[in-house]
Chains A and B, each alone.
Chain A
Amino acid sequence: MPTTPSTNPSQVPLHQRRAAKVDRLAELMGERGDEGHGAGVWREALQRMRRSPMAITGAAIVALFVVVALLSEFIAPYGATSQTWGGEVFPNRNEFVGPRAENWLGLDHLGRDMFSRMVIGARQTLLVGVVATLVGFLFGALLGGAAGACSVLGGRWGRQVDNVVMRVIDMMLAMPTLLLAVTVAALVGPSLTTVMVAVGVAQIPIFARLLRGAMISQGSREYVLAAEALGVRRHRIALTHILPNSMGPVIVQSTLTLATAIIDAAALSYLGLGNPDASSPEWGTMLSEAQRFLSSAPSLAVYPALGIIITALGFTLLGEALREALDPKLRK
């Protein structure tokens, strides 16, 4: 029998020819398989979001808002407190200066450029939204995560811990968000920090409940049982198995919370609990100031209101799109 590869294919043993064919096939399939290499749940979600007009609109609004907020010094043509003097403010008695070439959105009652104040206010609004969401996220996730982990893996004793933590959370949840925020703000005194902490604290129970619920539902999944069947330690199961799988809804909630936080912060500022410093205007504060001139100059209220509405809408659209993209029912 010839063992050397012959030019005549029929002389090569059948199994060798087959092996060569299979190898070639494996090679080709290997190349193709590499395309999806490393693609995780999040990458898949991102791809789905790129096809969704809702997500694109939301992302565009949010991107615009963030860029304006970050670059407000360079975009704003005037300072937040620089005023136009004298008769310029009210060229015709009792009539506010409307939009014109120098002041795109006109002047407010103190002769300050509305466009500049809106742009600078964007930064304050973003700051409040992000910090408040972070506060809610961090403490909420900590409490909810601990409660969830105890409930799933802690046995009898763990369920007691979970019970206690969740009853405290329920008490917080029972209080209306705004009332809770007002209470905190009233206790600490009006300032930007107050608004951020107050709005953040009000979000804690939502994050806590959400993460705990997700962890408990993940806890009954088979891979947790499989990990337990292999003796993996409980804290490791909680941290590397259950927690990463439970973060999806919490991350979606953060995007939605950003919208709520912006509205809540504006509400607190409107109620006079925000930063009283005129040099760092916040859209809610501007709204509250504009209230006095609602009949003579409604546009002073319209601009900040539009700002709040559009930004909140942007975050909500983005959050909803993210939720849809991550929804396992809509996958595949």
Chain B
Amino acid sequence: MTTSTPLLAVDELSVVFHRKGQGETRAVDGVSFTLEEGRVTGLVGESGCGKSVTSLALMGLLPDRGVKVGGSALIRLPDGEQDLLKVSQRRMRDLRGSQLAMIFQDPLSSLNPVVPIGVQVTEILSRHRGMRGAAARREAADLLQRVGIPDPTRRLGEYPHQLSGGMRQRALIAMAVACRPKLMIADEPTTALDVTIQAQILELLRDLVTEEGTALLMITHDLGVVAGLCDEINVLYAGKAVETAPRGPLFADPAHPYTVGLLGSIPRLDAPRGEPLTPVRGSVNDNIAWADGCAFAPRCDHYTMECLQGPPPLVGASGDEEGPGHIHRCVNPVGRAGPDRPEPETPAAASEEERG
């Protein structure tokens, strides 16, 4: 799978919000990643780093006023390759639900409270697969069964508030996979659920990805979820990817101080009693513009003057066996040889800098 062309290639995606009386806000600032069939890619970062905006941009769900989306997102569809950011509204409506699907954070508010589950599932079947009446209801029941909802026929007649949180999220996943989409985006699908249900939902997602060969873009702030589910991980900070790596190297040998900070701030069961958590200092608002230097510098423990001289380029992580897949955006990578830049002026890095 990994050798073929990717299903979705996002290149230099940027989203800029314009507000009256205020300057523009660069919510997403040149993010590039690829998604492959049957694999899970994680988009990790704290609130406000642009991960949700990235997903909304890909789905074409950003408001049409005051937003400028740049870059490209080429997706391989049955009828040829297309740029998700350029297709017409009408075409996007046809793609959403059939080729692309999205699962949201809060299952209760993502379901219409006054419409029975059955109607909400069948409306997608009738919209994209032209199914009607009894056939649609049968298929809807099958879908609920598939995502592990017991007694699906009865559930079809029930309202969202009669289902438990886990059931609701399962129902939403059933709606998302109803038309076997090629690409699924899950925006913090387990944040509103308790830990046991969380594990079940993640397992379900994993199964669906392997069985259907769907590409899943997993958006989360929870590194535990990432460790259990994602094959490839992009760590976002202030609208830019600061580190991209396969799961193993990211956890074993993180290069960017922000990734290290995130990993360090996870509460651990095996930590000695009474040892304080080590949070990442400051908040996401304490940053500088990427144009001036590394946005993370104000919160970083080992920034140098070099960090404040223009945007740091993306570089391959040295000292990593799986080198090619592991890149980061730091001039003083953690655990790497000294404060001197690894491969400072390679042509690739330079061109990267010009584009960003």
User: Which residue numbers of A lie inside 8 Å of B, CB to CB?
Assistant: 36-41, 155-156, 221-223, 225-234, 236, 240-241, 244-245
**Residue contact B64 to A156, C-beta cutoff 8 Å:** yes
Q: Is B141 interfacial (CB 8 A cutoff)?
A: no
Interface segment among B12-20, B100-108, B218-226, B343-351: the answer is: B100-108
**Residue contact B101 to A223, C-beta cutoff 8 Å:** no
Known A229-B97, A233-B93; contact A222-B110, beta-carbon cutoff 8 A: yes
Rounded to whole Å, the gap between the CB of B90 and the closest CB of chain A is 11
**Residue contact B106 to A222, C-beta cutoff 8 Å:** yes
- Count of B residues near A, CB < 8 Å? 36
Tell me the complex Cα distance, A222–B192, Å: 14
**Residue contact B89 to A155, C-beta cutoff 8 Å:** yes
Rounded to whole Å, the gap between the CB of B266 and the closest CB of chain A is 28
Name the interface residues of B118-173: CB closer than 8 Å to any CB of A: 119-120, 123-124, 127-128, 157-159, 162, 172
Tell me the complex Cα distance, A244–B96, Å: 24
User: Which residue numbers of B lie inside 8 Å of A, CB to CB?
Assistant: 59, 61, 64-65, 89, 93-98, 101-102, 104, 106, 109-115, 119-120, 123-124, 127-128, 157-159, 162, 172, 175-176, 178
Q: Which residues of A contact B95 (CB under 8 A)?
A: 231
Tell me the complex Cα distance, A228–B94, Å: 10
Tell me the complex Cα distance, A38–B161, Å: 10
Known A225-B61, A225-B104; contact A241-B97, beta-carbon cutoff 8 A: no
Tell me the complex Cα distance, A155–B128, Å: 22
**Residue contact B112 to A245, C-beta cutoff 8 Å:** yes
Tell me the complex Cα distance, A225–B61, Å: 8
**Residue contact B124 to A40, C-beta cutoff 8 Å:** no
**Residue contact B97 to A240, C-beta cutoff 8 Å:** no
Contact of B97 among A36, A156, A230, A244 (CB under 8 A): A230
Name which residue of chain A comes closest to B89, CB basis: A155
Rounded to whole Å, the gap between the CB of A226 and the closest CB of chain B is 4
What are 29 A-B contacts defined by CB distance under 8 Å?
A37-B158, A38-B157, A38-B158, A40-B114, A40-B159, A156-B64, A222-B104, A222-B110, A223-B109, A226-B111, A228-B96, A229-B59, A229-B97, A229-B104, A230-B102, A230-B124, A230-B127, A230-B175, A231-B93, A231-B96, A231-B98, A232-B127, A233-B127, A234-B93, A236-B123, A241-B112, A244-B112, A244-B114, A245-B113
**Residue contact A41 to B59, C-beta cutoff 8 Å:** no
